[in-house]
Amino acid sequence: MPLERIADLLLAEISGFAERLQREHPLMQAALQGRVAPVTVARYLAGVRCLLEHTPIHLGTAASVALQQGLPELVEYFEHKLREEEGHARWAESDLAELDRAFGVTASDVPSSMLSMVAYLGEVVRYQPRHYPGYILLAEHLTVRAGGVWVKALGDHCGIPLSALSSIAKHVELDQFHVAEGRDEINHLLHDIEDPEPLLETLQCAMSHFEAFCDELNLSVERKAAPMIVWRDATQSPPQSLT
């Protein structure tokens, strides 16, 4: 297939996904409406920290497998990305500490949906390292397209200070440059792929995992918004329909 079409196909999928998340996902709408509490942001940051902690591991694995497969340019690409990612997990750690200082909230665990996403990406780098650049393009493009809107919504409407969202704000700034060069890198590295469908399937799976992460976070928003039924008379049983 023509060189320019590989990146164009990936970016078309990614752009549509980013636009839909930004405009339609209930988690983003909840942020714009001021309904995302600090405890939900803490769970979000715990997920981000987990992903950032595993990204260097995934890049290192991808480089090793690419070397075994005789793909030196792909090895160089992964090693370059690995150098770029150094220390980024500490940004999320700092954000969690700042959130705790400001609101007294901590994340007790990593959302299971993020653990599933990390496990899936681990499978990708072990068995299909040539598909991993598509995920990298997704992560960078999604950060640029939706990350800034997310940070602004949390700050303007939910009272979350920017100092507790630095891991996203810094990536928004950095990834603007990465996205600009990402299209050419993808076209060069994957120029000989004749059937793009497996690559697109990997991308779509990664997007589904990230959306599941957003869905799980939104559940905590909905639970917090749900009205509580309080039975004031301890001697009176609740209506039968509610038991």
Summarised one tens digit per residue, pLDDT across range 186-201 is: 988 998 888 999 999 9
- How large is the average pLDDT for residues 67-95? 94
The CA-to-CA distance between both ends of the chain, in Å, stands at: 61
In the predicted model, is pLDDT for residue 84 greater than 90?
Answer: no
**Predicted pLDDT of residue 243:** 33
CATH of the domain at 30: 1.20.910.10
pLDDT band at 215 (very low <50, low <70, confident <90, very high): very high
At residue 234 the predicted structure's pLDDT band, cuts being 50, 70 and 90, is: very low
Q: Which of 135, 116, 137, 121 shows the shortest CA–CA distance to 203?
A: 135
- Pick the closest to residue 4 from 138, 175, 207, 196 (CA basis): 196
| Global model pTM greater than 0.85 | yes
Higher pLDDT, 162 or 180: 162
CB neighbours (10 Å) of residue 131? Answer: 22
Mean pLDDT of the chain: 88
> Which run of H or of E encompasses 103?
helix 88-103
Q: What is the pLDDT of residue 134?
A: 95
Q: Assess whether pLDDT exceeds 60 at residue 66.
A: yes
Angle at 168 (CA atoms; ends 184, 200), nearest 5 degrees: 40
- Tens of pLDDT, residues 3-40: 458 988 999 999 999 999 999 999 999 999 999 999 99
Instruction: Tell me the residue range of the domain where 73 lies.
Output: 3-242
Number of domains in the chain: 1
Q: Tokens 């769970």 appear where? A: 43
Cβ contact 98:163 at 8 Å: yes
Give the model's confidence band at 226: pLDDT under 50 very low, under 70 low, under 90 confident, else very high: very low
Share of the chain above pLDDT 90, in %: 69
Q: Is the model's pLDDT at 120 over the cut of 50? A: yes
- Residues 161-186 have a mean pLDDT of 81
- Residue from 209, 21, 185, 12 nearest 113 by CA: 209
- 237 pLDDT above the threshold of 50: no
